[in-house]
Structure 1
Amino acid sequence: MGVPVISRLEIWVRRAVPAMVVLFIAALGAMTVAMARDAHERAVADATAELEQLGALLSQDLREAAKRFPKADPNALLADAMPSRALARGAQAFISNAAGDIVAAAGRKAPRGALNDYLGPTQPLTIFAEKAGVLRIALPDGAEALAGVRTLAAPFSQLALVYPMQAVLADWRTASLRTGVLFVATALVLAALAFAYFWQASRARESDRVCDLVRDRIDTALSRGRCGLWDWDLARGRIYWSDSMYEILGLAPIGNYLSFGDVNALVHPQDGDLAAIAEMITASRAESVDHAFRMQNVRGEWVWLRARAELVRERAGATPHLVGICVDITEQKTLAERTATADMRLRDAIESVSEAFVLWDADNRLVMCNSKFQRLHNLSADAVTPGAPYVQVMEKGTPPMIQTETALAGRPQAGARTYEARLGDGRWLQINERRTKDGGYVSVGTDITALKRHEEQLMESERRLMATVADLRRSRQTLELQAQQLADLAEKYLEQKAEAETANRAKSEFLANMSHELRTPLNAVIGFSDMMRQETFGPLGAGKYVDYANDIHQAGEYLLGVISDVLDMSRLEAGRFTIAKADFELDAGLAGALASVEQAALEKNVALTAEAMPGRRAHADRTAFEKILSILLRNAVKFTPPEGRVSVRARFVMGTLNIYVEDSGAGIPAAALAKIGRPFEQLSGGLDNGMKGSGLGLAIARSLVDLHGGSMRIRSTVGVGTIVMVRLPQTRDAPRQKLLMAAAAASAPRRAYAPKLRAAARR
């Protein structure tokens, strides 16, 4: 763990050195600037104080000299009073008269003009004198200077002292120059030291980079070659491992050195102990090691390694090292095992095939064969030794006796031959010989005896099949003749069907005409019989005549109803009955139907009820609607015993009108329900008066319901009663009778279909 910490510290130190050098130079420069600025301020302050003292001293001396020598020359007085030290340092002194003109000067030639012009007209020095103190001014030539003014006694006016800044800062500049030179020299020395450090560090890094590059290349080569580098220090008992060695075992690198015990713990216990190798090397019984062993990787798997190392002594008496490489030979071991397994499997596969197999090399030497080949040539196990020449092998065996040999048809290939041979014992062999890529050849002999037998059976089957085909051809001719006969029969059937339908239509028309012819006399019979039984024109005489008149009237009405039903059924079958849908009061339609059977219900004492639906309107043909209900109610009353009940109710369900007619009559047997609704179909048994009816009521009702596009269902239980449900759609579409009429017209027989049926029969 120490090496990575030192490496990290070295990186931080290398990064911190330039920062510390720059920081030190910056600090030194800041200190130099601060000291120079402080020295500058002290020099100006000292010059200011000196100028104030000099002004006070000169003004005092000039006052006393003016009193003693009133006629003396001002220049002489100023020269005597001015200290030589001040003049040497560049100080200047000027005396002005009462008019403000300069009359005397010391330190330089007296300028012409007024003192105020020399000092600057904007300066307050000449105005306030001592009160203004020492000020920093700009002289007429542009140079800066320190100046102070003192008031003198007459005949003089003012004393002006001027100290040029160049003279004030002369010592400061000299000291600053020395300090700057020292700072630059120090910075250069530090920069040189830093450069030398970085140059040396860069060389060290370059050396490290080269070493790392070489080591990486070595590690890469070792990793690609699945090799590991070992350096075994026998004296210390530690082993140096390269990173590739860790990679082979899948371990995370924990250092370049491992103890002998750690390495020995990974070695397979059956592959020897490293301690024995160490003892052998120490005893100098061997100078090199070539040892294959297994080591356990991180997944718990065993990796085969081959260690090749040599004993190395760096100098005489030095600790010996065992240096070498360790190669991963797991793939070679696995490949060898797989090769051995594949060879064993190949031999087993060749042995298990049903063919005689033999393989010869390019020198006609035996490579391998199976037991079938041995048995075919009567060879012993000693004769089929791998590597035996062909001639030697065949001399030790007895070749099979071949009666016939037939080459198979097909395009021959170079170095290949396929033929069939029949042996003396009746067996057949198919022999395939092919040249291999290395110049040898392989021969496979397949027993095809069963195939030959199947081939003979197939040929016999083919002969039988040809005979069967001839029989089928004759049967086909017979079938074509029968098809022609069926076509003729179909044509005759269509003709007879057309005649039957024509007769049916003629019957319907005849019944319709006869119904009209019968109604006229029946109406007269019914009318006159009604007048006779009511004795409109007087009594008939005997009472028996009244009974006869009632019977005549009842029979006439019954016959009229039958004829009306026959007429309606004929019109429906002929497609002449039309309906006209319209909206009407549902209760009114129900009342009209109930009124038609009310008298019959009263005569039989049958309770007749209907659920009222005031305000609801139905969309249908009202006449047909009442006709349907009348038929259903008449049947319900007819087959309901006295004291029974008949009820009618209606419901609107999802756009349809459902009408339920329920009675408590005798019920209808399940076998008879299938016939209900067919024309002229009647239940067994008659009514009390012996009349069974025409059997057309339900057929008429069902036909009228169909014209409305609806449906009728009957549910009945013997001894309980019957429920008839009529479903009428309430949509405003076209009447269904047009569709029914079109269907009836399409059902007419057509003689043109006969040729098509005849052609179909031929096919």
Structure 2
Amino acid sequence: MDLMAEARSGSAADGENLFQFAGAQGWNPDLAGPAKLFAKPAYGRLIKAEPYLRKSIPVLIVAFLLIVAAARFLDLLQDRSEIEDTARQATALTALAGSAALATSPDQDSLKYRWRAESHLADSLPPDLLHDGRFLVVASQRGDVYAATANGGEFVGRRIDMLLRDAPQLRIFGTRAGVHMLSVDGDEYYAAVSTNELGLIAAFTPVAMVLKPWKQQVSLNVTLFAATSSILLVILYAYFTQASRARDADEIYLEAHHRVDTALSRGRCGLWDWDLDMGRIYWSASMYEILGLPPRDCVLDFEDVQAMMHPEDESLYDIVAAIETGESNQIDQMFRMRHAEGRYILMRARAQVTQSASSLHVIGIAMDVTEQHRLVQRTAEADQRLFDAVESTSEAFVLWDRDKRLVMCNTKYQSIFDLPDEVVVPGTDQDVVLASARRPVVEQRVAASEHGESARSMVVQLADGRWLQINQRNTRDGGSVSVGTDITQLKRHQDRLKESERRLMATIGDLSSSQSRLKEKAGELSELNAKFLAEKDRAEAANKAKSEFLANMSHELRTPLNAIIGFSEILQNRMFGPLGSEKYGEYADDIHSSGKHLLGVINDILDMSKIEAGRLRLDQETIDIAPLIDETLRLIAIQAENKSITIKSNIAEGLALFADRRAIKQILLNLLSNALKFSDEGGRITVRARRHKDAVTLTIEDKGIGIPAAALRKIGQPFEQVQNQFSKSKGGSGLGLAISRALTELHDGAMKIRSKPGVGTIVSLRLPTGKDA
């Protein structure tokens, strides 16, 4: 049963009957609402006159405002005229009083001096004559102003005829010319003149000071008039607004109804009312639009709706049964309905069971969630692709949430630590997983990376002899991610190198002990010397083999690192679709930054290996030092700004080198990075460059932690670092200074380090200018 249609028809019938009743009584049919019930013949006549009254009200209000404004305007003009007359009289009296005061002075000769005349005027004249900015000036017979009262000192020394040029009649000595308004230096004054034996006495009154109270009164009256006008206009607006509300009510209702229908249509949402007793269902127009059906102004049968639903979904009969048994008075159901084109769309219905006086209804909305369901499916597919990417990597990977519960791990991690399947289930506590894992035989903590306390690295040896380097990083949500890299081969090569070095040192020791015996056995000297040279060649060959091995291994390590960095960039760029969760994006960022850091360390090892193996070739050219230093400083500017470190440069003009541009830039970047790393917050770094004969000296000075004297001897050697708490927290490969020293020596230069703990460090480079510089 269409309850809304009956309500609309009933309201229309009642309105029509009421209108007929009003006409039978002789009332004005233009009356609306309660006015029809209470109006009388006199009120009816008032209603007829209402249009004329409505038109006359604005005219009456405007006429009232104009009369009030005109009256007040004339009153203000009268006030101004009285104020000006009073000012003119006061100015004339001031001039006469000043002239009389000077004429009655017992010592007329002393009044020819400024200080005497001004003092006499100040003592003789009452203070009331010099208020409101009035002042007197005294001019000699020649027309020069030589004295003045307060506020008139700026006119002393000027010509009186120049001050009175706008009123020439005032400059006549010996006469009274009245009071005139004139302009002096852009300001208007009332001026009056009086003369005596000393000369001319002129009184000035500023017009602005006289009219200031009047202007304030004008401003107050304008403000009050504007406020009154605004209030009347607001009342007028409220009157017309209230009068038009009755006519606009129906239009507003229709517009609101149209907006609700538009909102439901745009939101892919439909309104429905299910009468359980009658088995009828009412749908809004937007519901028909969702299903691609033409809107119908009628109700649907229970069987019609059931026929549109997918046969595999829960039927309407089950929903009715649940409501009748009292199991639920709310519906939040997902089901599929057939579109007019034959396909099925996924709908989500949310409704509330309501009991009216006559029947039981279920009223709610149904939303098209097909696209949302597809988005959920794509998110699940993206999660699966991410899992496959992590699973296919050669490193052991594990992710923990902020509560130290397992989120995910790959098969590599499970196999390395020999974890059972029932433990590597998402949600398992970290302590349970670690308790079930195979404990490493050796565990060594290594220096943290540039991530500081949020990053931890360690090297462990498993029971089967394999070595792993485990890098752990904290995630933004408080969790952590660990990546374990198999470095067994690298460890074995390192052990071989150490064993070779040990044997070499033992051989050198044997040679040293043999030298003492060579003094007694001169005949065996040449044979032992040949053995020594042979062992030396073997040592150099071993050292070269070590460098070549590091170079080759660096290349081998860069290949999987490039794959890790490449896959993490694919995840960062969402190349195959969204990841589904922002956390996966953060994990991809952490993997990418860790791979970049490790790749930088390997590049340093590779550069050092090339240098030691003699495979680095310089591409020398004439370069300008100043732009190169500026370019390097820009690269570290952001790091310096983050630590509030000030960098100053003092570069001499015209400095040039015949050198490898990339090598010099790498030297500067390594030294400046070390200076930044070992400087405290708010520190200072100074870069200087100057020419000294046929060489250029570059100096980098910082105010950092400094280097102990015992450590200065080994600074600059490969993999050597000053071991203190600060350097351990900063990390690094220990190759920066070694590479810088080696590149400097390749340019036939020299590097010198001076440092003092707690004071700072100075690194000096001396590079020859070269043949073309």
What TM-score, normalized to structure 2?
0.31
What TM-score, normalized to structure 1?
0.31
Task: Answer with 1 or 2: which has the greater Rg.
Answer: 1
